[in-house]
Homo-oligomer: A and B are copies of this chain.
Amino acid sequence: MQQRIAEAAERLGYQPNPMARGLKGGPSGLVGMLVADIRNPFSVAVMHGVEQACRAQGLSLMVCNTDNDPVLERQHLALLTSYRIEGLIVNAAGRHSEPLAELASDGLPLVLLDRSLEGIAADEVGLDNNLAIDMALDHLTEQGYRRVLFVTELPTRASSRQTRVARFESECPERQLAGKVLSLDLDDTTCLDHELSAFLDTPDGHPAAILCGNGQVTLAVTRALQARRIPLGDTGLMGIDELDWCQLVTPGVTTLAQPTDAIGQAAVEQLRDRQAQPIAPAPRHLRFTPQLIPRGSTRREQSASTTDETSP
């Protein structure tokens, strides 16, 4: 009997209207994602992982870019909830966002990507930031650098940046490294040149390296170094986030690659898990291990300019 309607539906090309369905409160099959900056390759890479996972689960993904604008974030949040999303993956929200906290307490499955949010007890998925900093400092130490400048975007905006800065500051002394932190506003990189000079021009004989907090910073710093004709390797350069061009800029830029696909997929799984749980379990935090991709930019004794061909 049901066969007959199923087959008639097939024949007529019937497709249920998700609007009507959503009205009544049924499952929407929709997952929302809030991205702080769609032009950040890391975000895009994670998003790709999220998409794949959604597809595998038969879910549809609705992506919104907030461009780091709290107002936009609020609007998009309203849009997403009005479409009855079943889960939300968030890679935005600089500060404690009230609407977001409200949603979480309303029981909407929520996964925070690459950041924690004050006052919101939600699942988190992201890099193991402490480990990443440790790995970076270990590598730089091994390569013989004794002074390190950590350049990061304004850490007030994202908790992961704060974590990295904190770890950097606590771990440098442990390794007898002279550490310094530079907070950068990417819209105004004039101070970068200045600070870079100040850091590099100290002729105390200790080899110096620069550690970049994310891909955008790596780009800005590489540009600045190149403008000042500073050869890489002699002055160390290392970045968190692997980028297309890191192997192209001679002698190659050393990076800590994030497992972006895995992170995206984990976010969706987390969402499903939570949906399946009738009583909300304690928030889970998933921290992924980065992969060190050593290249020429952290090789001090340049034995001929060997092009690095490591692939990401």
Chain A contact residues, CB within 8 Å of chain B: 15, 17-20, 22-23, 38-39, 44-45, 47-48, 51, 55, 60-65, 67, 72, 75-76, 78-79, 82-84, 219, 222-223, 226-227, 229, 243-245, 247-250, 307, 309
Contacts and interface: CB of A to CB of B under 8 A. Distances in A.
Contact of A307 (B15, B62, B83, B229): B229
B249 A15 contact: no
A249 B247 contact: no
Given A62-B62, A245-B248, A55 B84 contact: no
A82 B15 contact: yes
A1 B5 CA distance: 49
A55 B79 contact: no
Given A38-B47, A44-B38, A48-B38, A82 B248 contact: no
B248 A83 contact: no
Contacts of A72: 55
Contacts of A82: 15, 17-19
The 5 closest A-B pairs by CB, nearest first: A245-B245, A19-B22, A19-B19, A248-B249, A19-B23
Nearest to A308: B226
Given A19-B84, A60-B76, 5 more contacts: A15-B82, A39-B45, A55-B72, A243-B245, A248-B248
